[in-house]
Amino acid sequence: EIIAQTLARRGAEGLIPLDLTLLHSPPLTAGWNSFLGAIRTQTSLPADIRELAICRVAVLHQAHFEWTQHAPLARAAGVTREGLRAVLDGTRGDLSERQIAVVEFATECVREVRVGEGVFGRLREHFGDREVVEVVGTVAAYCCVAKFLVALDVAEGNGVRVEDYVVPE
């Protein structure tokens, strides 16, 4: 049943290395499917915002597999190559002020845990209460994903330096 749920969440893509690792613990997989499924498909966040948050978390945790999965999704959501390079470099690139607020929030949340009033205030300038909760939830959830991926070296990506991450066309 849990394999069927995982396949349903993945769709035509089928199981990925993360799923194959998770399936060593069916209860963990079931919870993961529910929680990450909600983050990915049931929030009000536009795809570009969600994927930028996830990509910045991936970079800061050096979670190469997370980057390879989500950078193409960011591009498909309209993030430019320059915007993704900015996520890699921690610069502004051609990101909008709204996108920058999310990247800055993700950066400070990962590095400092407690986000300062200035960064949090800029996030609140661009997003309503529900969206703020969803940005925070997305960053927190993908910190968990990144730590899981790196600790277990899922897809054996731990040897790839951030400088060598590929920005999709």
> CA 154 from chain center: how many Å?
16
CATH number at residue 154: 1.20.1290.10
- Both 57 and 9 in one domain: the answer is no
pTM: 0.94
Percent of the chain topping pLDDT 70: 100
pLDDT single digits (tens) 134-162:
999 999 999 999 999 999 999 988 889 99
Query: Could you read off the pLDDT of 39-75 as tens digits, one per residue?
Result: 999 999 999 999 999 999 999 999 999 999 999 999 9
User: Two tokens at 117?
Assistant: 């009033």
SS3 159: coil
Give the chain's end-to-end CA distance (angstroms, integer): 37
Q: Are residues 65 and 122 in the same domain?
A: yes
| Domain coverage including residue 27 | 1-42
| 169, part of any domain | no
